Chain A
Protein backbone atom coordinates (compact mmCIF):
# COMPACT_ATOMS: atom_id res chain seq x y z
CA UNK A 1 0.00 0.00 0.00
CA UNK A 2 1.28 3.50 -0.79
CA UNK A 3 2.71 5.03 2.37
CA UNK A 4 1.94 8.64 1.37
CA UNK A 5 -1.82 8.27 1.20
CA UNK A 6 -3.22 5.73 3.60
CA UNK A 7 -6.60 4.13 2.90
CA UNK A 8 -8.10 6.03 5.81
CA UNK A 9 -7.00 9.31 4.24
CA UNK A 10 -8.64 8.22 1.00
CA UNK A 11 -11.88 7.50 2.79
CA UNK A 12 -11.77 10.83 4.58
CA UNK A 13 -11.23 12.69 1.29
CA UNK A 14 -14.01 10.72 -0.37
CA UNK A 15 -16.41 11.46 2.50
CA UNK A 16 -15.61 15.15 2.40
CA UNK A 17 -16.13 15.27 -1.36
CA UNK A 18 -19.37 13.37 -1.01
CA UNK A 19 -20.58 15.69 1.73
CA UNK A 20 -19.67 18.71 -0.34
CA UNK A 21 -21.38 17.37 -3.44
CA UNK A 22 -24.46 16.38 -1.50
CA UNK A 23 -24.71 19.88 -0.05
CA UNK A 24 -24.22 21.44 -3.51
CA UNK A 25 -26.89 19.19 -5.00
CA UNK A 26 -29.35 20.05 -2.22
CA UNK A 27 -28.70 23.78 -2.49
CA UNK A 28 -29.11 23.72 -6.27
CA UNK A 29 -32.36 21.81 -6.24
CA UNK A 30 -34.12 23.48 -3.36
CA UNK A 31 -36.58 26.11 -4.51
CA UNK A 32 -34.71 29.26 -5.37
CA UNK A 33 -36.24 32.60 -4.47
CA UNK A 34 -38.40 34.47 -6.93
CA UNK A 35 -36.42 36.44 -9.49
CA UNK A 36 -37.78 39.10 -11.82
CA UNK A 37 -36.17 38.53 -15.21
CA UNK A 38 -36.20 41.41 -17.68
CA UNK A 39 -35.88 40.53 -21.36
CA UNK A 40 -35.27 43.21 -23.95
CA UNK A 41 -35.58 42.06 -27.55
CA UNK A 42 -35.24 38.42 -26.52
CA UNK A 43 -32.06 38.83 -24.46
CA UNK A 44 -31.86 38.87 -20.68
CA UNK A 45 -31.20 42.45 -19.61
CA UNK A 46 -31.28 41.93 -15.88
CA UNK A 47 -32.38 39.44 -13.27
CA UNK A 48 -33.43 40.80 -9.88
CA UNK A 49 -33.83 38.73 -6.73
CA UNK A 50 -37.01 40.29 -5.38
CA UNK A 51 -36.56 38.96 -1.84
CA UNK A 52 -33.36 40.92 -1.47
CA UNK A 53 -34.90 44.28 -2.39
CA UNK A 54 -35.12 46.49 0.70
CA UNK A 55 -36.31 49.88 -0.52
CA UNK A 56 -38.52 50.22 -3.64
CA UNK A 57 -36.75 51.82 -6.59
CA UNK A 58 -37.40 52.80 -10.19
CA UNK A 59 -35.56 51.12 -13.01
CA UNK A 60 -35.65 52.94 -16.37
CA UNK A 61 -35.08 50.50 -19.23
CA UNK A 62 -32.91 51.14 -22.30
CA UNK A 63 -35.72 50.45 -24.71
CA UNK A 64 -37.72 52.44 -27.22
CA UNK A 65 -40.45 53.55 -26.59
CA UNK A 66 -39.22 54.15 -23.05
CA UNK A 67 -40.48 52.20 -20.06
CA UNK A 68 -39.68 52.34 -16.36
CA UNK A 69 -40.17 49.53 -13.86
CA UNK A 70 -40.95 49.81 -10.19
CA UNK A 71 -38.98 47.21 -8.23
CA UNK A 72 -40.09 46.41 -4.67
CA UNK A 73 -39.57 43.66 -2.14
CA UNK A 74 -41.41 40.69 -3.62
CA UNK A 75 -42.93 42.56 -6.58
CA UNK A 76 -42.13 44.26 -9.87
CA UNK A 77 -44.37 46.28 -12.17
CA UNK A 78 -44.28 48.72 -15.07
CA UNK A 79 -44.54 52.16 -13.50
CA UNK A 80 -44.75 54.15 -16.70
CA UNK A 81 -44.24 53.69 -20.42
CA UNK A 82 -44.25 55.81 -23.54
CA UNK A 83 -46.10 53.23 -25.62
CA UNK A 84 -49.58 54.14 -26.83
CA UNK A 85 -51.63 51.29 -25.34
CA UNK A 86 -50.14 51.05 -21.79
CA UNK A 87 -51.08 47.37 -21.53
CA UNK A 88 -47.79 46.87 -19.66
CA UNK A 89 -48.62 49.45 -17.01
CA UNK A 90 -52.17 48.14 -16.66
CA UNK A 91 -50.98 44.58 -15.95
CA UNK A 92 -50.18 45.53 -12.39
CA UNK A 93 -47.78 43.89 -9.96
CA UNK A 94 -45.96 40.66 -10.72
CA UNK A 95 -45.35 38.66 -7.56
CA UNK A 96 -45.40 34.95 -8.19
CA UNK A 97 -43.70 32.52 -10.52
CA UNK A 98 -45.10 32.75 -14.03
CA UNK A 99 -46.53 36.27 -13.63
CA UNK A 100 -45.63 38.16 -16.78
CA UNK A 101 -46.02 41.68 -18.16
CA UNK A 102 -44.85 42.85 -21.56
CA UNK A 103 -44.49 46.07 -23.51
CA UNK A 104 -44.70 44.82 -27.07
CA UNK A 105 -43.73 48.05 -28.87
CA UNK A 106 -40.60 48.27 -26.69
CA UNK A 107 -39.97 44.51 -26.99
CA UNK A 108 -39.71 44.20 -23.23
CA UNK A 109 -40.91 41.15 -21.31
CA UNK A 110 -40.75 40.97 -17.51
CA UNK A 111 -41.47 37.63 -15.91
CA UNK A 112 -41.09 36.03 -12.50
CA UNK A 113 -38.95 32.90 -12.58
CA UNK A 114 -38.15 30.46 -9.77
CA UNK A 115 -39.85 30.76 -6.44
CA UNK A 116 -42.78 28.57 -5.45
CA UNK A 117 -44.44 27.11 -8.52
CA UNK A 118 -48.17 27.47 -8.27
CA UNK A 119 -49.36 27.08 -11.83
CA UNK A 120 -47.69 25.78 -14.97
CA UNK A 121 -49.39 28.52 -16.99
CA UNK A 122 -52.38 30.84 -17.22
CA UNK A 123 -54.76 30.85 -20.16
CA UNK A 124 -56.53 34.12 -20.85
Chain B
Protein backbone atom coordinates (compact mmCIF):
# COMPACT_ATOMS: atom_id res chain seq x y z
CA UNK B 1 0.00 0.00 0.00
CA UNK B 2 2.74 2.41 1.01
CA UNK B 3 4.65 1.50 -2.16
CA UNK B 4 1.62 2.30 -4.26
CA UNK B 5 1.29 5.77 -2.71
CA UNK B 6 4.96 6.51 -3.23
CA UNK B 7 4.82 5.31 -6.81
CA UNK B 8 1.73 7.44 -7.42
CA UNK B 9 3.54 10.47 -5.98
CA UNK B 10 6.49 9.80 -8.28
CA UNK B 11 4.19 9.60 -11.29
CA UNK B 12 2.54 12.86 -10.24
CA UNK B 13 5.92 14.59 -10.02
CA UNK B 14 6.82 13.30 -13.45
CA UNK B 15 3.53 14.58 -14.86
CA UNK B 16 4.03 18.03 -13.35
CA UNK B 17 7.56 18.07 -14.77
CA UNK B 18 6.29 17.28 -18.27
CA UNK B 19 3.59 19.91 -17.87
CA UNK B 20 6.19 22.56 -16.93
CA UNK B 21 8.33 21.71 -19.93
CA UNK B 22 5.35 21.76 -22.30
CA UNK B 23 4.06 25.03 -20.85
CA UNK B 24 7.48 26.59 -21.22
CA UNK B 25 7.69 25.42 -24.84
CA UNK B 26 4.43 27.16 -25.72
CA UNK B 27 5.13 30.25 -23.61
CA UNK B 28 8.60 30.83 -25.02
CA UNK B 29 7.75 30.44 -28.64
CA UNK B 30 8.84 33.87 -29.73
CA UNK B 31 11.35 35.61 -31.94
CA UNK B 32 12.83 39.11 -31.94
CA UNK B 33 15.13 40.75 -34.40
CA UNK B 34 15.74 43.87 -36.50
CA UNK B 35 16.56 44.56 -40.13
CA UNK B 36 16.89 47.55 -42.40
CA UNK B 37 14.34 48.29 -45.13
CA UNK B 38 12.40 51.29 -46.47
CA UNK B 39 15.25 53.55 -45.37
CA UNK B 40 14.69 52.80 -41.71
CA UNK B 41 15.10 50.18 -38.99
CA UNK B 42 12.36 47.58 -38.79
CA UNK B 43 12.21 45.67 -35.54
CA UNK B 44 9.84 42.83 -34.82
CA UNK B 45 9.04 41.14 -31.53
CA UNK B 46 6.75 38.21 -32.30
CA UNK B 47 5.13 35.60 -30.05
CA UNK B 48 3.80 32.37 -31.48
CA UNK B 49 4.91 28.91 -32.52
CA UNK B 50 5.79 30.15 -36.01
CA UNK B 51 7.32 33.44 -34.83
CA UNK B 52 10.62 32.95 -36.62
CA UNK B 53 9.01 31.97 -39.94
CA UNK B 54 6.74 35.00 -39.69
CA UNK B 55 9.75 37.23 -39.03
CA UNK B 56 11.67 35.89 -42.03
CA UNK B 57 8.71 36.43 -44.32
CA UNK B 58 8.10 39.94 -42.98
CA UNK B 59 11.74 40.78 -43.60
CA UNK B 60 11.59 39.51 -47.22
CA UNK B 61 8.22 41.10 -47.88
CA UNK B 62 9.17 44.55 -46.65
CA UNK B 63 12.40 44.50 -48.62
CA UNK B 64 10.40 43.49 -51.70
CA UNK B 65 7.85 46.23 -50.99
CA UNK B 66 10.64 48.74 -50.83
CA UNK B 67 12.52 47.73 -54.00
CA UNK B 68 9.68 46.54 -56.21
CA UNK B 69 6.75 48.68 -55.26
CA UNK B 70 7.38 51.89 -53.38
CA UNK B 71 10.91 53.02 -54.17
CA UNK B 72 11.42 56.15 -56.27
CA UNK B 73 14.97 55.19 -57.14
CA UNK B 74 14.97 51.43 -57.71
CA UNK B 75 14.35 50.82 -61.43
CA UNK B 76 12.28 47.69 -60.80
CA UNK B 77 9.87 49.60 -58.58
CA UNK B 78 6.32 50.18 -59.81
CA UNK B 79 6.41 53.78 -58.59
CA UNK B 80 9.69 54.40 -60.42
CA UNK B 81 8.18 52.97 -63.59
CA UNK B 82 5.06 55.13 -63.26
CA UNK B 83 7.21 58.19 -62.77
CA UNK B 84 9.08 57.29 -65.92
CA UNK B 85 6.27 56.82 -68.35
CA UNK B 86 4.60 53.50 -67.56
CA UNK B 87 0.84 53.69 -67.18
CA UNK B 88 -0.33 50.15 -66.44
CA UNK B 89 0.55 48.47 -63.17
CA UNK B 90 -0.16 45.22 -61.33
CA UNK B 91 -3.43 44.79 -59.45
CA UNK B 92 -1.75 44.91 -56.04
CA UNK B 93 -0.19 48.38 -56.36
CA UNK B 94 -3.29 49.52 -58.25
CA UNK B 95 -5.46 48.66 -55.26
CA UNK B 96 -3.03 50.50 -52.99
CA UNK B 97 -3.09 53.60 -55.17
CA UNK B 98 -6.90 53.55 -55.25
CA UNK B 99 -7.00 53.54 -51.45
CA UNK B 100 -4.47 56.36 -51.45
CA UNK B 101 -6.52 58.43 -53.91
CA UNK B 102 -9.55 57.95 -51.65
CA UNK B 103 -7.63 59.28 -48.63
CA UNK B 104 -6.32 62.22 -50.69
CA UNK B 105 -9.85 63.21 -51.69
CA UNK B 106 -11.34 62.84 -48.22
CA UNK B 107 -8.48 64.83 -46.70
CA UNK B 108 -9.09 67.58 -49.27
CA UNK B 109 -5.56 66.90 -50.50
CA UNK B 110 -3.87 67.84 -47.25
CA UNK B 111 -2.37 64.41 -47.84
CA UNK B 112 -1.10 64.19 -51.40
CA UNK B 113 1.29 61.73 -53.03
CA UNK B 114 1.82 63.76 -56.19
CA UNK B 115 4.50 65.83 -54.47
CA UNK B 116 7.59 64.08 -55.89
CA UNK B 117 8.72 67.25 -57.72
CA UNK B 118 8.28 69.32 -54.59
CA UNK B 119 10.27 67.01 -52.33
CA UNK B 120 13.04 66.85 -54.95
CA UNK B 121 13.05 70.63 -55.21
CA UNK B 122 13.51 71.25 -51.50
CA UNK B 123 15.92 68.31 -51.15
CA UNK B 124 15.35 68.00 -47.39
CA UNK B 125 17.18 64.97 -46.06
CA UNK B 126 19.49 64.66 -49.06
CA UNK B 127 22.26 66.93 -47.86
CA UNK B 128 21.56 69.51 -50.56
CA UNK B 129 18.46 71.12 -49.10
CA UNK B 130 17.71 74.70 -50.12
CA UNK B 131 14.97 77.29 -50.01
CA UNK B 132 13.49 77.27 -53.52
CA UNK B 133 12.16 80.35 -55.31
CA UNK B 134 8.42 80.98 -55.21
CA UNK B 135 8.04 80.32 -58.95
CA UNK B 136 9.88 77.00 -58.63
CA UNK B 137 7.51 75.98 -55.85
CA UNK B 138 4.32 76.89 -57.75
CA UNK B 139 5.57 74.96 -60.73
CA UNK B 140 6.33 71.91 -58.57
CA UNK B 141 2.86 71.74 -56.99
CA UNK B 142 0.85 72.53 -60.09
CA UNK B 143 -1.32 69.52 -60.97
CA UNK B 144 0.01 67.48 -58.01
CA UNK B 145 -3.55 66.55 -57.08
CA UNK B 146 -4.57 65.67 -60.61
CA UNK B 147 -3.05 62.21 -60.95
CA UNK B 148 -5.73 59.57 -61.42
CA UNK B 149 -6.14 55.83 -61.21
CA UNK B 150 -8.74 53.82 -63.04
CA UNK B 151 -8.60 50.05 -62.77
CA UNK B 152 -4.92 49.23 -63.30
CA UNK B 153 -4.16 52.37 -65.28
CA UNK B 154 -2.54 55.44 -63.79
CA UNK B 155 -2.71 58.84 -65.42
CA UNK B 156 0.06 61.22 -64.34
CA UNK B 157 -0.12 64.79 -65.65
CA UNK B 158 3.13 66.12 -67.12
CA UNK B 159 5.67 67.04 -64.51
CA UNK B 160 3.90 65.17 -61.68
CA UNK B 161 5.92 62.53 -59.85
CA UNK B 162 4.48 60.20 -57.24
CA UNK B 163 6.18 59.95 -53.85
CA UNK B 164 4.68 57.55 -51.34
CA UNK B 165 7.12 58.48 -48.57
CA UNK B 166 4.35 59.82 -46.35
CA UNK B 167 2.52 56.49 -46.35
CA UNK B 168 5.20 53.85 -47.03
CA UNK B 169 5.88 52.81 -43.45
CA UNK B 170 2.19 52.44 -42.71
CA UNK B 171 1.81 50.32 -45.84
CA UNK B 172 4.68 48.17 -44.54
CA UNK B 173 2.75 47.66 -41.30
CA UNK B 174 -0.28 46.39 -43.25
CA UNK B 175 1.84 43.85 -45.13
CA UNK B 176 3.37 42.69 -41.85
CA UNK B 177 -0.09 42.35 -40.34
CA UNK B 178 -1.21 39.96 -43.09
CA UNK B 179 1.84 37.79 -42.51
CA UNK B 180 1.31 37.64 -38.76
CA UNK B 181 -2.24 36.49 -39.36
CA UNK B 182 -1.11 33.92 -41.90
CA UNK B 183 1.23 32.36 -39.34
CA UNK B 184 -1.35 32.65 -36.55
CA UNK B 185 1.05 34.60 -34.34
CA UNK B 186 -0.35 35.18 -30.88
CA UNK B 187 0.97 38.69 -30.43
CA UNK B 188 3.55 40.98 -32.01
CA UNK B 189 5.00 44.47 -32.08
CA UNK B 190 6.47 45.43 -35.46
CA UNK B 191 8.04 48.88 -35.65
CA UNK B 192 8.69 50.13 -39.20
CA UNK B 193 10.67 53.20 -38.25
CA UNK B 194 8.17 55.33 -36.37
CA UNK B 195 5.06 53.49 -37.61
CA UNK B 196 4.14 50.64 -35.33
CA UNK B 197 1.90 47.62 -35.82
CA UNK B 198 0.44 46.11 -32.67
CA UNK B 199 -0.94 42.65 -33.32
CA UNK B 200 -2.79 40.32 -30.98
CA UNK B 201 -5.21 37.44 -31.22
CA UNK B 202 -6.50 38.54 -27.81
CA UNK B 203 -8.69 41.53 -28.54
CA UNK B 204 -8.25 42.76 -24.97
CA UNK B 205 -4.45 42.74 -24.92
CA UNK B 206 -3.15 46.21 -24.07
CA UNK B 207 0.06 47.68 -25.49
CA UNK B 208 2.03 50.61 -24.08
CA UNK B 209 3.36 53.07 -26.65
CA UNK B 210 5.55 56.10 -26.08
CA UNK B 211 4.95 59.23 -28.16
CA UNK B 212 8.23 60.92 -28.76
CA UNK B 213 8.99 64.23 -27.10
CA UNK B 214 9.38 66.55 -30.12
CA UNK B 215 12.25 68.36 -28.43
CA UNK B 216 13.95 65.30 -26.96
CA UNK B 217 15.86 62.22 -28.02
CA UNK B 218 14.23 59.56 -30.10
CA UNK B 219 13.75 57.38 -27.02
CA UNK B 220 12.18 60.00 -24.75
CA UNK B 221 8.37 60.03 -24.53
CA UNK B 222 6.31 63.17 -23.97
CA UNK B 223 3.26 61.00 -23.39
CA UNK B 224 2.45 57.32 -23.05
CA UNK B 225 -0.69 55.72 -24.43
CA UNK B 226 -2.26 52.35 -23.66
CA UNK B 227 -4.08 50.88 -26.62
CA UNK B 228 -5.27 47.59 -28.03
CA UNK B 229 -4.15 45.98 -31.29
CA UNK B 230 -3.97 48.55 -34.12
CA UNK B 231 -1.46 50.63 -36.10
CA UNK B 232 0.08 53.84 -34.79
CA UNK B 233 2.02 56.43 -36.82
CA UNK B 234 3.43 59.82 -35.96
CA UNK B 235 4.31 62.73 -38.21
CA UNK B 236 6.52 65.38 -36.66
CA UNK B 237 8.14 68.61 -37.75
CA UNK B 238 11.32 67.55 -35.99
CA UNK B 239 12.01 64.43 -38.08
CA UNK B 240 13.68 66.03 -41.07
CA UNK B 241 14.45 69.69 -41.60
CA UNK B 242 17.10 72.16 -42.59
CA UNK B 243 17.88 75.62 -41.32
CA UNK B 244 18.68 78.70 -43.33
CA UNK B 245 19.11 82.28 -42.14
CA UNK B 246 17.88 81.31 -38.69
CA UNK B 247 14.65 79.77 -39.97
CA UNK B 248 13.78 76.09 -39.78
CA UNK B 249 12.09 74.37 -42.75
CA UNK B 250 10.66 70.91 -42.01
CA UNK B 251 9.74 68.18 -44.49
CA UNK B 252 5.94 67.98 -44.16
CA UNK B 253 4.69 70.24 -46.92
CA UNK B 254 1.29 71.81 -47.19
CA UNK B 255 0.33 70.69 -50.72
CA UNK B 256 -1.71 73.85 -51.25
CA UNK B 257 1.25 76.17 -50.72
CA UNK B 258 4.32 74.05 -51.35
CA UNK B 259 5.85 75.28 -48.08
CA UNK B 260 6.28 73.41 -44.80
CA UNK B 261 2.93 73.16 -42.99
CA UNK B 262 2.30 75.81 -40.33
CA UNK B 263 -0.60 74.52 -38.28
CA UNK B 264 0.63 75.14 -34.76
CA UNK B 265 1.48 71.47 -34.27
CA UNK B 266 4.82 69.78 -33.63
CA UNK B 267 3.47 66.27 -34.08
CA UNK B 268 0.35 64.23 -34.69
CA UNK B 269 0.03 60.56 -33.77
CA UNK B 270 -2.80 58.66 -35.44
CA UNK B 271 -4.23 55.37 -34.25
CA UNK B 272 -6.13 53.27 -36.78
CA UNK B 273 -6.74 49.64 -37.65
CA UNK B 274 -5.04 50.36 -41.01
CA UNK B 275 -1.33 51.19 -41.24
CA UNK B 276 -1.85 53.15 -44.46
CA UNK B 277 -4.56 55.26 -42.84
CA UNK B 278 -2.53 55.91 -39.68
CA UNK B 279 0.49 57.03 -41.68
CA UNK B 280 -1.39 59.09 -44.30
CA UNK B 281 -3.65 60.80 -41.77
CA UNK B 282 -0.77 61.68 -39.45
CA UNK B 283 0.61 63.73 -42.35
CA UNK B 284 -2.80 65.18 -43.29
CA UNK B 285 -3.57 66.19 -39.70
CA UNK B 286 -0.23 67.91 -39.28
CA UNK B 287 -1.10 70.02 -42.33
CA UNK B 288 -4.74 70.66 -41.30
CA UNK B 289 -4.21 71.55 -37.65
CA UNK B 290 -6.25 70.34 -34.70
CA UNK B 291 -9.77 71.62 -35.43
CA UNK B 292 -9.89 70.65 -39.08
CA UNK B 293 -8.42 67.22 -38.41
CA UNK B 294 -11.29 66.07 -36.22
CA UNK B 295 -13.93 65.47 -38.93
CA UNK B 296 -11.34 63.69 -41.11
CA UNK B 297 -10.33 61.37 -38.28
CA UNK B 298 -13.96 60.66 -37.51
CA UNK B 299 -14.60 59.74 -41.14
CA UNK B 300 -11.85 57.12 -40.96
CA UNK B 301 -12.80 56.00 -37.44
CA UNK B 302 -9.33 56.92 -36.23
CA UNK B 303 -8.05 58.46 -33.02
CA UNK B 304 -5.20 60.92 -32.63
CA UNK B 305 -2.89 62.66 -30.19
CA UNK B 306 -1.70 66.17 -31.07
CA UNK B 307 1.28 68.01 -29.61
CA UNK B 308 1.15 71.75 -30.23
CA UNK B 309 3.99 74.22 -30.64
CA UNK B 310 3.30 75.30 -27.04
CA UNK B 311 3.79 71.73 -25.75
CA UNK B 312 0.08 71.21 -25.16
CA UNK B 313 -1.19 67.67 -25.72
CA UNK B 314 -4.71 67.17 -27.10
CA UNK B 315 -6.60 64.13 -28.29
CA UNK B 316 -9.68 63.20 -30.31
CA UNK B 317 -12.82 63.16 -28.14
CA UNK B 318 -13.28 60.14 -25.86
CA UNK B 319 -9.69 58.99 -26.25
CA UNK B 320 -8.64 57.29 -23.04
CA UNK B 321 -5.43 55.80 -21.85
CA UNK B 322 -3.06 58.74 -22.25
CA UNK B 323 -0.61 59.77 -19.52
CA UNK B 324 1.80 62.66 -19.75
CA UNK B 325 5.35 61.39 -19.28
CA UNK B 326 7.28 64.66 -19.27
CA UNK B 327 6.39 67.63 -17.06
CA UNK B 328 7.13 70.04 -19.91
CA UNK B 329 3.87 68.94 -21.54
CA UNK B 330 0.30 69.52 -20.40
CA UNK B 331 -2.84 67.64 -21.34
CA UNK B 332 -5.62 69.96 -22.53
CA UNK B 333 -9.23 68.81 -22.79
Footprint of B on A, CB under 8 Å? Answer: 1, 6-8, 10-11, 13-15, 17-18, 21-22, 25, 28-29, 39, 42, 44, 84-85, 91-92, 94, 96, 98-100, 102, 104, 107, 109, 111, 113, 118-124
Q: Which residues of chain B from 15 to 48 have any CB-CB distance to chain A below 8 Å in the complex? A: 16-17, 20-21, 24, 27-28, 32-36, 39-41, 43, 45
Separation of A14 and B27 alpha carbons in the complex (Å): 23
Whether A7 and B35, one on each chain, are in contact in the complex, defined by CB atoms closer than 8 angstroms, is no
Return B319 CB to nearest CB of chain A, in Å: 15
Whether A119 and B208, one on each chain, are in contact in the complex, defined by CB atoms closer than 8 angstroms, is yes
A-B contact pairs, 9 of them (CB 8 A): A10-B10, A15-B13, A18-B14, A96-B219, A100-B218, A102-B41, A104-B36, A109-B34, A123-B211
A100 contact from B34, B39, B198, Cβ within 8 A? B34
Return B22 CB to nearest CB of chain A, in Å: 11
Q: Chain B residues with Cβ under 8 A from A18's Cβ?
A: 13-14, 16-17
B59 interfacial by beta-carbon distance below 8 Å: yes
Separation of A118 and B209 alpha carbons in the complex (Å): 9
Q: Chain A residues with Cβ under 8 A from B218's Cβ?
A: 91, 100, 122, 124
Return B155 CB to nearest CB of chain A, in Å: 34
Whether A111 and B43, one on each chain, are in contact in the complex, defined by CB atoms closer than 8 angstroms, is yes
Nearest first, the 10 closest Cβ-Cβ pairs linking A and B are A14-B13, A124-B212, A7-B6, A124-B194, A10-B10, A123-B234, A14-B10, A11-B10, A102-B41, A122-B210
Q: Chain A residues with Cβ under 8 A from B41's Cβ?
A: 100, 102, 104, 109, 111
Return B227 CB to nearest CB of chain A, in Å: 10
B7 interfacial by beta-carbon distance below 8 Å: yes
Q: 18 new A-B pairs (CB below 8 Å) besides A17-B17, A104-B39, A113-B32?
A: A11-B6, A11-B10, A18-B17, A21-B21, A39-B34, A42-B34, A100-B218, A109-B43, A111-B41, A118-B208, A120-B196, A120-B208, A122-B210, A122-B212, A122-B218, A122-B221, A123-B211, A124-B194
Whether B20 and A22, one on each chain, are in contact in the complex, defined by CB atoms closer than 8 angstroms, is yes
Whether A1 and B20, one on each chain, are in contact in the complex, defined by CB atoms closer than 8 angstroms, is no
* Size of interface on B: residues with Cβ below 8 Å to A: 52
Q: Chain A residues with Cβ under 8 A from B191's Cβ?
A: 121-122
Whether A124 and B39, one on each chain, are in contact in the complex, defined by CB atoms closer than 8 angstroms, is no
Q: Chain B residues with Cβ under 8 A from A21's Cβ?
A: 17, 20-21
Return A109 CB to nearest CB of chain B, in Å: 5
Q: Chain B residues with Cβ under 8 A from A100's Cβ?
A: 34, 41, 43, 218-219
Return A36 CB to nearest CB of chain B, in Å: 12
Given A39-B35, A123-B210 in contact, is the A99-B20 Cβ separation under 8 Å? no
Whether B196 and A121, one on each chain, are in contact in the complex, defined by CB atoms closer than 8 angstroms, is yes
Whether A107 and B36, one on each chain, are in contact in the complex, defined by CB atoms closer than 8 angstroms, is yes
Residue on B with the closest CB to A113? B32
Residue on A with the closest CB to B28? A28
B315 interfacial by beta-carbon distance below 8 Å: no
Residue on A with the closest CB to B16? A18
B40 contact from A28, A84, A104, A113, Cβ within 8 A? A104
Residue on B with the closest CB to A119? B210
Q: Chain A residues with Cβ under 8 A from B34's Cβ?
A: 39, 42, 100, 109, 111
A1 contact from B3, B10, B14, Cβ within 8 A? B3
Whether A14 and B239, one on each chain, are in contact in the complex, defined by CB atoms closer than 8 angstroms, is no
Q: Chain A residues with Cβ under 8 A from B318's Cβ?
A: none
Given A1-B3, A29-B27, A91-B218 in contact, is the A123-B194 Cβ separation under 8 Å? yes
Q: Which residues of chain B from 130 to 188 have any CB-CB distance to chain A below 8 Å in the complex? A: none
Separation of A8 and B39 alpha carbons in the complex (Å): 64
Q: Chain A residues with Cβ under 8 A from B43's Cβ?
A: 100, 109, 111
Whether A14 and B59, one on each chain, are in contact in the complex, defined by CB atoms closer than 8 angstroms, is no
Q: Chain B residues with Cβ under 8 A from A42's Cβ?
A: 33-36, 59
B219 contact from A29, A94, A102, A120, Cβ within 8 A? A94
Residue on B with the closest CB to A111? B34
